[in-house]
């Protein structure tokens, strides 16, 4: 798969950037997208920003803002997440979409007397259906609103996979002593019948197209976008005559798809992106906060390994990710004294198409090691990251200081890390 530099950009790091869409994906066998939208007028220092004031009862007060978006006026009701001293705002709408509004875009702002209330699942479902062409339907679960124009069986398979992942992910971190909260918003998922519709609908987050990205989580919209993987060319080619006569999107076809090795990276992508969505909605991470990519992506890779022996596609947590392990171990001869510090202090390797594959492998290996051998320290580090505010950037020195505070001397840890990971089979 060709690496596309225009979508390799910071996903969790949030310095001031021009207002454009960007995303991050892994080149190679798995395409992953975290798409985001950032404005250049939002404060990048905590002392320049303030949160929405509370109501008299202590609840967050709702606001209604009118602003220019793509040359047209837009009205949004939500809550202020960050307000810069120059008048720029980051607003969370009642459907979970984050809007960056520069001062010169803002037309009107009204502070409402009522507290902010997110849309219910039914309200979000109605809104999603209204925004899509005819033919889309809704399937809801306790945490997800799945809007789809695939077969109902495929939507049910997808939502079942997501709910199992949600339960496993949140239970895992609760058992590690972390405070996990219920999502503020219902978790929206768009599932398209084919790649063409998926690509066209994803242009606001990925203006140059999805390319080989088979699914992505948008920090801006809080949605996971994907398409029916039973129609993916690699899977159908692998299935060949065995898929003949199977109804598109039926459970038999889904199970046939999962029996193909070509399905491994595709299912892994969906699990990876859904892991991001859960992490950014359950209190572990904050959207637009400066979460180091080695942690943000490495954790998602830790959870992504599918299980083709299961008709449900994914069964557990922390299984060895053999494609990542192979890349990591093959590169050990090139590991040097600067490799770990560069991974910890900078996201540059993830944004460079020449080094992104290796960076993902290193991030998986480091998270695998820390979760298994330093679980308490890792959990405490996650608590520190959970406190980070949106749009406040950290410099490399801060990143290294925070890592040392939880894990000690990186060079001493590095010796045991390399020794342990070289033995993993």
138 to each of 146, 148, 166, 190, 255, how far by Cα in Å? 6, 6, 19, 10, 23
- Residues in the chain, how many? 425
CA–CA gap between residue 217 and residue 315 (Å, rounded): 21
What pLDDT shows up at residue 28?
31
* Residues linked to residue 67 through DSSP beta bridges, in sequence order: 74, 106
Choose the CATH number for 120-287 among 3.30.479.10, 3.30.160.150, 3.40.50.970, 3.40.30.160. 3.40.30.160
Q: Is the dihedral of CA 158, 220, 21, 327 positive or negative?
A: negative
Q: What is the DSSP string of 241-266?
A: GGGTTPPTT-HHHHHHHHTSTTHHHH
What pLDDT shows up at residue 189?
98
Average pLDDT by stretches of 10, the chain with 425 residues: 28 33 30 37 40 57 95 96 91 97 95 95 98 96 97 93 93 95 98 94 91 93 94 62 55 77 84 96 97 96 72 68 94 95 96 94 97 97 96 95 98 96 95
* Residues linked to residue 226 through DSSP beta bridges, in sequence order: 191, 215
Helix 356-373 crosses helix 375-386 at what angle (to 10 degrees)? 120
The residue ranges of every structural domain in the chain are 46-115, 120-287, 322-423
CA–CA gap between residue 307 and residue 304 (Å, rounded): 10
What pLDDT shows up at residue 13?
32
CA–CA gap between residue 323 and residue 325 (Å, rounded): 6
What pLDDT shows up at residue 217?
97
140 to each of 52, 125, 190, 393, how far by Cα in Å? 31, 8, 12, 36
> Do 46-115 and 120-287 come out as alike in CATH topology?
no
CA–CA gap between residue 91 and residue 99 (Å, rounded): 5
What pLDDT shows up at residue 380?
97
* Residues linked to residue 115 through DSSP beta bridges, in sequence order: 61
CA–CA gap between residue 417 and residue 343 (Å, rounded): 14
Among 167, 175, 158, smallest CA distance to 224 is for: 158
Phi, psi of 91, rounded to the nearest 5 degrees: -115, 130
* Residues linked to residue 28 through DSSP beta bridges, in sequence order: none
Q: Does domain 46-115 have CATH number 1.10.3720.10?
A: no
Structure tokens at 407: 């894990």
Q: What sections of 56-183 are H helices per DSSP?
A: 121-131, 152-175
3-15 in b/e form (b: 16+ CB < 10 A) is: bbeebbbbbbbbe
Token pair 């789809």 in the structure block, residue: 148
């Amino acid at each position: 798969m060709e690496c596309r530099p225009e979508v390799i950009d910071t996903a969790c790091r949030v310095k001031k950037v021009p207002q454009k869409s960007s995303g991050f994906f892994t080149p190679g066998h798995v395409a992953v997208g975290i798409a985001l939208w950032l404005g250049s007028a939002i404060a990048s220092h905590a002392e320049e920003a303030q949160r929405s004031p509370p109501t008299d009862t202590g609840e967050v007060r709702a606001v209604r803002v009118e602003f220019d978006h793509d040359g047209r006026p837009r009205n949004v009701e939500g809550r202020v997440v960050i307000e810069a001293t120059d008048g720029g705002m980051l607003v969370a709408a009642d459907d979970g979409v984050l809007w960056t509004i520069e001062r010169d875009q803002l037309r009107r702002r009204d502070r409402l007397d009522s507290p902010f209330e997110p849309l219910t699942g039914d309200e979000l479902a109605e809104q999603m259906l209204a925004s899509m062409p005819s033919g889309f339907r809704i399937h809801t679960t306790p945490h997800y609103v799945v809007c789809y124009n695939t077969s109902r069986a495929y939507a049910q398979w997808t939502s079942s996979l997501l709910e199992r992942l949600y339960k496993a992910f949140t239970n895992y971190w609760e058992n590690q002593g972390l405070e996990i909260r219920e999502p503020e918003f219902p978790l929206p998922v768009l599932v398209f019948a084919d790649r063409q519709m998926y690509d066209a609908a994803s242009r606001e987050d990925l203006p140059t197209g999805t390319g080989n990205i088979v699914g992505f989580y948008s920090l801006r919209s809080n949605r996971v976008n994907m398409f029916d993987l039973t129609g993916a060319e690699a899977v159908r080619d692998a299935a060949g005559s065995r898929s003949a006569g199977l109804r598109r999107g039926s459970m038999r076809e889904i199970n046939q798809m999962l029996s193909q090795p070509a399905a491994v990276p595709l299912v892994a992508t969906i699990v990876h992106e859904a892991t991001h969505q859960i992490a950014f909605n359950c209190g572990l991470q904050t959207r637009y906060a400066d979460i180091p990519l080695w942690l943000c992506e490495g954790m998602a890779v830790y959870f992504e390994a599918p299980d083709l022996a299961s008709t449900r596609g994914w069964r557990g947590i922390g299984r060895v990710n053999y494609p990542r392990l192979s890349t990591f171990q093959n590169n050990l001869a090139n590991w040097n004294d600067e490799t770990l510090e560069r991974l910890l202090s900078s996201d540059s390797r993830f944004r460079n198409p020449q080094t992104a594959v290796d960076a993902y492998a290193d991030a998986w290996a480091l998270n695998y090691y820390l979760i298994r051998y330093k679980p308490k320290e890792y959990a405490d580090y996650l608590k520190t990251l959970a406190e980070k505010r949106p749009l406040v950037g950290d410099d490399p020195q801060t990143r290294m200081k925070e890592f040392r505070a939880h894990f000690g001397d990186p060079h001493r840890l590095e010796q045991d890390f390399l020794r342990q990971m070289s033995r993993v089979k």
